Structure 1
Amino acid sequence: MSTVSNQLAAFIHGTTIDGLRPDIVELAKTRVLDAIATALTSRGLPVPAPKLATAFVRGNTGSSTVIGSRSRVPAIDAALVNATLINGSSLDDFLEKSHPAAVVVPAAMAVAEEQDASGADFLVSVVAGYELVGRAYMGAPGMLPRFRATGVAGAIGAAAAAGKAFKLGEAALMSALGYAAMFASGFGEGFHAGTMEVKFNVGWAARSGVSAARLAYLGGTASPSVFEGKSGFFRAFGGNVDHVAAATQGLGERFLISDTIYKEYPVCIFVQTLMYLAGDLVKRHKLDAAQITRVSVLAPKDTFENPGFQNVAPYANPLQAHTSASFCTAAALLGKPVAEHAFYHKTTDPEVLALAAKVELLPPSGDKERVVVSVVCGGKTYEIEAPQMDMLRPTTNKVVEKFRRLAEPSLGRATDEVLDVVMGLDRIRHIGELTHLLQLDND
């Protein structure tokens, strides 16, 4: 009987650039473009995890690029640093409760560069990685809120991307997934404290995925029943095997990368919808924030229980603030510059804190998808609702605009060249044509 690992490995091995629809190839390019933009942005921000990761690998030498730096390090180290860079700006994308770009793109890029792979091969690795991030979660949704999906499912996706870049056979890909399942880890307590381990966990997932693929490349073996087995991944992280069929259902028919959403605000993905709705409510009804007496927020259970969502003042650091529904909703209602990273360092803004104290987070209801924001202002009640994250679907034009805005301060005149290379990745012979453009004098 074919195991989950058998089926996933066969999918990864059998996926080729010629077998992908043009729209999926286009999506993969935009995911790479978005990841590069968010990584370059992080280099100019006072975010600690990328600096710690850079210090951790300092002195190591190899053939893989650290984005925005002249440094070239071993693939596992490049995956680590680049993952913390992509995730460090809190602007990276989201799929099935994980941040796939932050684990998949660094793993695929690091190994592809080491192996002198083509741009087309790199893109296929990215598509495979996104698919496995999603399917690892879908098979064990009970991992939330006890574990952090990006650290757990993300390690599987990173291994898939790296394994594809290594051109592993099906048996070796099964082992790569098995090692990644063993290395998977991470939980969200740091979001309550605002400490950096939750950011570093993303980097470690990417590093673990590359390590898993390399072990398989060198001949290491792992259990073929690693996912559904009696002591396997699904039971360990999800608590049961009730969703095992979801991990492979429709595999290869509809690619999960098409479900990816993206961020415009540098805050937790679970508060993005609230901020869009709050801002829209103010614009639509021309609300005077000074007259707001009460705000209530109703969100799905997985949103409500996400670590940091229920954070309240005092906020000791930006991470505590930009995961807090109360802080972010209040800031959006007040028309604060919520698209700017610098704003979230003003965690003691008296206007925001005063309004945040009026925000009530209602216990989740039976509606598993919708977010509702209700505001009492001037004695009248105004309400707006929408499906969670529904307005966060990326288009190529949106991603290109975001890339130009975020990347130009670092790339300068090379911005258009990088854009052209990424959007033509399926036609370039060596991934080095892209990575050498990302080697900047920003150490």
Structure 2
Amino acid sequence: MIVAEPGPTILAQLADYVDSLSYDAIPPDVTERAKTVLFHNLVVALGARNLNIPGQDRVNWPEGAPRTVTATRLTDGWRGPNESSLYTNSLLMGARAQHDEHPGSVSHFGSCVIPPLLAVAENRSLGGRAFIVAMIAGYQVGAGIGGSSVGAVTRRGFRPTGLFGPFAAAAAVAKAHGGGAAQIANALAIAASSAAGITQMWRRGTDEWRYQTAAAARNGFFAATLAEEGVQGAPDAIEGASGFHRAFAGQDPADGDEILGSLNTWAVSDVILKPFPVCAINQAAVQRIVELRSRYGFGAEDVDEVVVAVSQSDRSYPGVDARGRPPTATAAMMSMQFALGVALVYGSVDVGHLAEHGNPSVLGAAAKVRLETGPAEPGDHRASVRIRLLDGQRMDSGPARAVEYDRDGIMDLARHLLPASGLSWSEMSAVADFVYSLEDRDDVGQLLPLCLPSRNRHGALAPKPDLLA
């Protein structure tokens, strides 16, 4: 009896794709979008420098870690172990909850992929084109694996970013390492065993969400590092009998068609760049409220009712359809009712507003907001907003997804966040110029020093011990 040899595994096919991906194979509009996504994530990271995040500047050196392999922390400019610095940078990138989000997998790949890649760039003189390709590869893999199981894992209480982020980070770093398809496949297999994170914090308003994303970035980086050192991973870590799909999604092993078919679209082109520091699911509705309020000149006191129609998957996501007083700023960030209450009262939403989760005016406005399940399809966080004023006037935004940012829009956000960043406008503009000419740069490792105020590029933003002393 002749037994047919099994075909290539899902990870092997993903690894072949990542290994063969080249700059010339990526459309120019996609590489341009990748630069915009990179700049947005850097801006929101720099704009979070004034936030105190416990654990963001851990300085202990892991025992035996070489002190010659270091990366720059965006918080203060000091160089520490790669894993420690990229963890801090990922925390900073997600601290304002404005890091990008890929709606098809409900995952924040920017803060998982970009900090590890910047660490690689600082140590290996990674060129701009190689950086862009590795970044796009990470988004492709994370979105492919995520899109095939996001609904199932979310229903089981897992957080998508914690599960899919390590794959994205591992793919990006392994591509940057340049070790070939087998090494990339091992990195992805090892990353599968570091997938973790639950969504109970959205229901309780607690703080784990920031650390889940940073852990995904660090774990993906470590998976790629282990693969480069020769560690082997299970080749069928996705579809195996005890693999990722069975363990996390509770699904029969995937045949790979959905995952591999997703590679025909560019995930980085689909991500949402968040103008407001609230859940990505809330972005479109907040934008509609801000626009309608500005156009028609009404205030929260003029509103009788606001009805928001979203997809069932968005409405049922933990923490989104949450009425009443949020117990914490995290819960306020997730609640669509509260976010729209803030927008009705202030005409915008900022981090400081979310800290006012007991504000009577905002709570009164939030009580006027009602969510319903609309015709929107899952996957792009569309929302339609209907407003009825006390005088009987009605407004209807129609269904729309969050408005896309371009470079000018992100520069406006950068100007808003400039005081928190510690940069001058000329320094922030230099960061933008570097990013938007990335394909012509020979060493992306030069980018992180540009993100530090010039007076601190050879020292810390605040007095701290030298990690290398």
Q: Give TM-score scaled by structure 2 length.
A: 0.87
- Equivalences for residues 3-402 of structure 1 within 5 A: 3-46=9-52, 48=53, 51-55=54-58, 57-59=59-61, 61=67, 62-95=69-102, 96=104, 97-141=106-150, 142-145=152-155, 146-240=157-251, 241=253, 244-249=256-261, 251=263, 253-334=264-345, 336=346, 338-362=348-372, 364-365=373-374, 367-368=376-377, 370-378=382-390, 380=392, 382-387=394-399, 390-402=401-413
Cα 1:392–1:250 change in 2 (3 A) is same
Which residue does the alignment assign to 2:465? none
Q: CA deviation at 1:257?
A: 0.9
Alpha-carbon spacing, 1:125–1:360, altered in 2? closer, same or farther (3 Å): same
Over 3 Å counting, the alpha-carbon distance change for 1:339 and 1:295 in structure 2 is closer
SS of residue matched to 1:114 = helix
Specify every segment of 5 or more residues in structure 2 that has no aligned partner in the other structure, as ranges. Answer: 1-6, 463-469
SS in 2 for 1:302: helix
% identical aligned pairs: 27
Contact 2:61-2:81 within 8 A present in 1 as well: no
Contact 2:158–2:198 under 8 Å retained in 1 = yes
Separation of aligned partners in 1, 2:369 and 2:320: 12
Letter in 1 for 2:123: E
- C-alpha separation in 2, matches of 1:301 and 1:432: 43
Judged with a 3 Å threshold, the aligned counterparts in structure 2 of structure 1 residues 233 and 392 are, in CA distance, closer, same or farther, namely farther
SS of equivalent to 2:25? coil
Q: CA deviation at 1:386?
A: 4.1
1:119-176 deviation per Cα after TM superposition (whole angstroms, max 9, x unaligned):
2222211111111121111121221242111111111101111111211210110010
Q: Contact between 1:69 and 1:438, CA under 8 Å: does it hold in 2? A: no
Counterpart contact for 1:68–1:438, Cα < 8 Å:
no
Q: What residue in structure 1 maps to residue 433 of structure 2? A: 420
- Extract unaligned runs of 5+ from structure 1: none
Q: Quote how far apart the aligned CAs of 1:105 are.
A: 0.4
What's the secondary structure of 1:391's corresponding residue?
coil
* Matched-pair contact (CA < 8 Å) for 1:111–1:210: no
Instruction: Please list every run of at least 4 consecutive aligned residues from structure 1 whose deviation after the TM superposition is greater than 6 angstroms.
Output: none
* Separation of aligned partners in 2, 1:337 and 1:45: 23
Partner of 1:411: 423
What is the letter of the counterpart of residue 192 of structure 1? R
Question: What is the count of residue pairs matched by the alignment?
Answer: 435
Q: For residue 44 of structure 1, what is the amino acid of its counterpart? A: N
| Kept after mapping to 1: 8 A contact 2:276/2:349 | yes
Q: Deviations over 1:19-47 (max 9, x none)?
A: 3222222122112211111111111124x
Q: Which residue is equivalent to 2:3?
A: none
Query: Match of 1:53, SS?
Result: coil
The answer on whether the counterparts of 1:138 and 1:243 sit within 8 Å (CA) in structure 2 is no
Task: Indicate the SS of the match to 2:323.
Answer: coil
CA positional deviation for 1:306: 1.7
Q: 1:436 to 1:378 in 2, by over 3 A?
A: closer
Residues 404-413 or 135-144, more deviating: 404-413
Displacement of 1:273 in angstroms is 1.2
- Is the Cα contact below 8 Å between 1:226 and 1:233 reproduced in 2? yes
Distance 1:236 1:147, change over 3 A: same
CA, structure 1 residues 305+162, in 2 after alignment: closer, same or farther (shift >3 Å)? same
- Give TM-score, length-normalised by structure 1: 0.91
CA contact (8 A) 2:75 2:92 kept: no
DSSP 3-state at the match of 1:199: helix
Structure 1's 302 and 217: CA in aligned 2 closer, same or farther, altered over 3 A?
Answer: same
Q: Specify whether residues 366 and 79 from structure 1 end up closer, same or farther in structure 2 by C-alpha distance, changes over 3 A only.
A: same
Displacement after TM superposition at 1:260 (Å): 1.4
SS of the residue corresponding to residue 224 of structure 1 reads coil
Kindly provide the amino acid, as one letter, of the partner of residue 411 in structure 1: L
